[in-house]
Structure 1
């Protein structure tokens, strides 16, 4: 069975973060996401690999400042 595409809400729930965090990670940390029209969609295996490889890590011990 092919892997299902997840929405922003679903991937945020899977990771235990807010939708705003997901959008920030897409823009600032190159979170693997695919734009389909106006929607962002995710493959859970790609996102899990990205997290395990340190993609979501807060480097430098400082919080990123929002602009």
Structure 2
């Protein structure tokens, strides 16, 4: 049986462990994972979270680090203007 310290240092966490790590409720984390807001993956039908990806995500969210792959901005298209009669 692993010790509490070994469990706390796991790289891959379940939803309860990750929610405790982030300091949010499991329900909130489940919603964030489902919406793609936090980095997560499914193993079978259960969400899993890599500690290193969560750390990088928190750094990006807090402005400590810039996103690793910035999204390309799409050029905006203007609506055609109707001429006045």
TM range (shorter): 0.5 to 0.7
Which has the bigger relative contact order, CA under 8 A and spacing at least 6?
1
> TM-score with structure 1 length normalisation?
0.67
Aligned length: 53
Q: Which runs of 5+ in 1 are unaligned?
A: 56-67
> TM-score with structure 2 length normalisation?
0.55
Task: Provide runs of 4+ in structure 1 moved above 4 Å.
Answer: none
Q: Which runs of 5+ in 2 are unaligned?
A: 1-9, 63-85
Larger Rg over CA atoms: 2
Aligned-pair Cα RMSD in Å: 1.8
* 2:40 equivalent to 1:33: yes
